[in-house]
Amino acid sequence: MAKSPNTKHQTPGKHQAPNTKNGQWRYLRFDVWSFFGVWCMVFGVCAGVFGVCRGAAPFASAEINNPEFFPILPWDPYHGWKQQTHVEKRLNGFESIAECHFNMAGFVLPKDLRACEKLGLGAILLPDDPVFTNFNYFRAWHKLTDQQIEDRIKRIIREGKSSPAVVGYFINDEPGVAEFPALGKAVAAVRKYAPGKLAYINLLPDYATLGAPDRSQLGTTNYTEYLERFVAEVKPQVISYDNYMVLYSHDLKDSGKAASYYQNLLEVRRVAQEHQLPCLNIVCANQIRPATPIPSPANLLFQAWTTLAAGYRGVTWFNYYGPGYKYNAIGPNGEKTLTWTYLKEVNAQVAALASTMSLLTSTGIFFTSPPPVPGLPSLPGSLVEAVSSEASAMVGEFKHRDGGLYVVVVNLSLERSARFMLKTMQPFALAELVSPVSGKPESFESKDGFWLAAGQGVLLKLK
């Protein structure tokens, strides 16, 4: 089964199967040192709070139709899900979230909005409703009348008191298709009474169980049907889902489980693009099971950079405080952990690139041959003909709103740094590296290829 909503656990289930150009070219060779990878994290090159040193839009660009909407979100209720385990004050609270380069605070109560505003953190609002005593509150939409659904939405909107920190409202997590009709009414109410705000719903991964609605998690015979019905029946503003198979696959060593990560990434992107919706990915920042690997610089970088390479509009980490899990960013006594340090610097890279990535449209995803798992699209693409390296690579091709061309290259190895040489389909006068430290384009010399640390990626602008 998939994870229970109260603890957001997951257990591997069934997998969903996935769904030549001529031209001039030249070799583009770059010196991109692994300084931007593990060493950046170890020595803490990036410092400061996201939104200050990174120049990010405050509150994660609180309107979801804002071009700069690019949430970096901890998937965590700040005070917990259950009334009986409510945490009022944390040793490392909102300040630590901001310091960790998140631009959103997670799921908060109305009383937290002033703190979020002070730190420039966006927020997904939870209800200040006496009926909200545990997560079952969010499973009850289908039991409500249309008027009760609308009243519930109007109440939480009022509780937000027009705070600029409110990005949206928490509606549900991992629903099956039987819940879609009621969720569609909740989304419609948010659109009606709080236009521009997000009705936050997160979907199951492709390894949740398949079958009849009353006998499975998805309620469909395949994952694509689940996604398409969500779009048709709920009419969402974004498609968000979670997939923790990078850790479940023992750092990609189990290729069958690793296949789920790649296939889910591509299929959600495909459906989102088909319906002109942004997509969000929730990835893992804890030891998801006692026998699985722990968060590392490499597997955190890999999850973040493959999400960027696929053209997603944000990165969400499960989780931050995480009772019931080990190796979280914040430990059991409220202390910052080594995972927090790793996550801070991975988030710093995402934050530095967000202002550019938010203006890019993904035009293709490709892999070096042989791909890491069967069935993935291989090079050549439209911009990149080939990538030469001893490590596998993922290539994302993009077009900027101003017509500019960009490429993301990711080192898919979690074990080693590697040198990469990029061969383009046509000659470009020069290329610029968009720095994952400053977010600014930088010119660099062309020689000897470019090096990427394990799991690290690079964003290049072709001219």
- Write the CA distances from 298 to 5, 145, 306, 415, integer angstroms: 28, 48, 12, 8
Triad 187, 193, 197: Cα angle to 5°:
60
Which whole number is the average pLDDT over 232-260?
Answer: 98
Share of the chain above pLDDT 90, in %: 80
**Same domain (yes/no): 171, 314:** yes
In a domain, 3, yes or no: no
CA nearest to 120, candidates 165, 53, 175 = 165
Range name among 5-14, 58-67, 170-179 with the lowest pLDDT average: 5-14
**Same domain (yes/no): 337, 422:** no
- Model pLDDT, residue 41: 40
- Does residue 250 carry a pLDDT above 90? yes
- Model pLDDT, residue 431: 83
In a domain, 142, yes or no: yes
- Write the CA distances from 238 to 5, 172, 174, 268, 291, integer angstroms: 20, 13, 14, 11, 33
- Given 359, 382, 412, which residue is the final one in a domain? 359
Predicted confidence band of residue 31 (pLDDT cuts 50, 70, 90): very low
**Same domain (yes/no): 284, 267:** yes
Q: Per-residue pLDDT tens for 347-392?
A: 999 999 999 999 999 999 999 999 999 999 999 999 999 999 999 9
Q: What is the pTM of this model?
A: 0.89
**Same domain (yes/no): 415, 298:** no
Q: Per-residue pLDDT tens for 394-408?
A: 999 999 999 999 999
**Same domain (yes/no): 306, 413:** no
- Model pLDDT, residue 351: 98
* Strand 72-74 relative to strand 279-284, pairing: unpaired
Q: Per-residue pLDDT tens for 324-359?
A: 899 999 999 999 999 999 999 999 999 999 999 999
Q: For position 94, which CATH number holds?
A: 3.20.20.80
In a domain, 16, yes or no: no
- Model pLDDT, residue 20: 32
- Does residue 186 carry a pLDDT above 50? yes
- Does residue 26 carry a pLDDT above 80? no
- Model pLDDT, residue 434: 96
In a domain, 298, yes or no: yes
- Given 359, 394, 420, which residue is the final one in a domain? 359
Q: For the chain, percent helix, then strand, then coil, each to nearest 5?
A: 30, 20, 50
- Does residue 3 carry a pLDDT above 70? no
- Neighbouring CB atoms inside 10 A of 256's CB total 11
Range name among 67-76, 280-289, 298-307 with the lowest pLDDT average: 67-76
In a domain, 171, yes or no: yes
Which whole number is the average pLDDT over 309-316?
Answer: 98
**Same domain (yes/no): 272, 329:** yes
Q: Per-residue pLDDT tens for 263-282?
A: 999 999 999 999 999 999 99
Cα 331 to Cα 328: distance, rounded to the nearest angstrom: 6
- Given 336, 359, 382, which residue is the final one in a domain? 359
**Same domain (yes/no): 270, 240:** yes
- Does residue 106 carry a pLDDT above 60? yes
**Same domain (yes/no): 180, 109:** yes
Please give the full DSSP string across 302-358, using - where no structure is assigned: HHHHHHHHTT-S-EEEE-SS-TT-BS-SB-TTS-B-HHHHHHHHHHHHHHHHHHHHT
Domain count, the chain: 2
Indicate the helix (H) or strand (E) that contains 157.
Answer: helix 146-160
Q: Given CA atoms 143, 145, 146, 149 in this order, what sign does their dihedral have? A: negative
Domain that residue 274 falls in = 48-359
In a domain, 352, yes or no: yes
**Nearby residues of 107 by Cβ (< 8 Å), 6 or more positions away:** 76, 77, 78, 123, 124, 125, 126, 170
**Same domain (yes/no): 127, 166:** yes
**Same domain (yes/no): 340, 368:** no
In a domain, 315, yes or no: yes
For residue 390 the two structure tokens come to: 């001893």
**Same domain (yes/no): 354, 368:** no
CA nearest to 273, candidates 233, 310, 306 = 310
Which whole number is the average pLDDT over 320-324?
Answer: 90
